[in-house]
Structure 1
């Protein structure tokens, strides 16, 4: 994807964090943005900010776990401007903690959003990409999709699924003759969006910012990279896991702090409930 101007780009999970940072950068490059998120107020605020900066942006409230809602949004997008050129599957959730300490519903929600939501979005919009002269599918996975992450077992395994799905779709598209549709899988270490509050990056690395990752994603897509792995340590993970005996790989993960990186995870703190407004009595304070 060498030029963004005029390209219709759909980003899920666009209200904040990585999704918003990507929208800001692609809007500045002339892309026509279609932003979705399940949180209406921050999504609208992001879209307003993007438009205020001079970019074209529309938004749709969307929960990617709702298949019927995805199809309704797809129909609305087609009616308002036609098919998309780029799909960025960014929406995701994370729950940390020892497996048995995390409620089962949170494990199931992790797979529902991170895997089934991504697959559902791809199923709804892949025909758009195939029908365009040049198109791109961007799936935001994680470094956790490349290695074991204790205390985040379902999160890590959901991202393993994203990596496997992305690679399989990439090769399938090529074998079907759709080489004009490129697939990029994004595998970052922890990003400081609040979702990973309490997590500790491995030695010799630090938390990424959403802005840093967005820059790397844009550059990777422009180069048609198959993977965006960041920071540098993540680039070594597939090789090390491939050549080292399991016990040695486990020992290295422990020594670097990767195996224990999610032990202190707390996640984004819930918002405090707003105090009810006091009814004015008309009396002056004493």
Structure 2
């Protein structure tokens, strides 16, 4: 009888956890910027959840969200030193957009996709962990301030201040203008052609004066800049130089739907992903470029379809 009861309890835990898994992964991925780390957090969260009798859990959704958020905060503390020692800029791990499709209505999906863009995730990394948690839980996941306060073991007043500070900072550092996915794709394809043309004037005409280029090779990829490249001329020359000297032989270029946006995906001749390039636009020109080439971060985009 005890064995049957334990099996039933285990099945109940599994079923409940799987019900909320998409939400929990969404929280962890946005907090950490790493799908692999998010999976590790969810595994740890399940073990803790499994040890708690379901009868004592009033709201599994709130309980699990709290566990995941606190585990993410702990992970960020332990990862701080490793990221400081990382070779070159540390950029988020790209994923398929569909991996974050939580079945929301189209209007809601636009907001969700915007909050998983490489641009937004990179900006989130510049917030403190507490600011990041409060902003995401309240703004993206619609938790009330009193709920967020309970999750983070902070006062509601403190959470409101953290949110206000985070929102002001994010608003001040995001583009003034937005573009449609179709326009984003069109400019991205133009950029891809210009990068391979060798024509500096053609390429720099697409860039803002203060454009910044970040490259994440993790110390494993030749040609990856170890520091951000800033300014229209410098970025243009760098992009042309990298395209000419370090493009993999037989490389296949295309646009894939990654992190909620059209994104350049360069594949090696054998089909494996080589580089992911995401851009942020402002007024029809490219303001920021993120190139992710660290092979450890490209496993999630292997199945991406090129268009």
- After TM superposition, the score normalised by the length of structure 2 is 0.24
Larger helix proportion, structure 1 or 2?
2
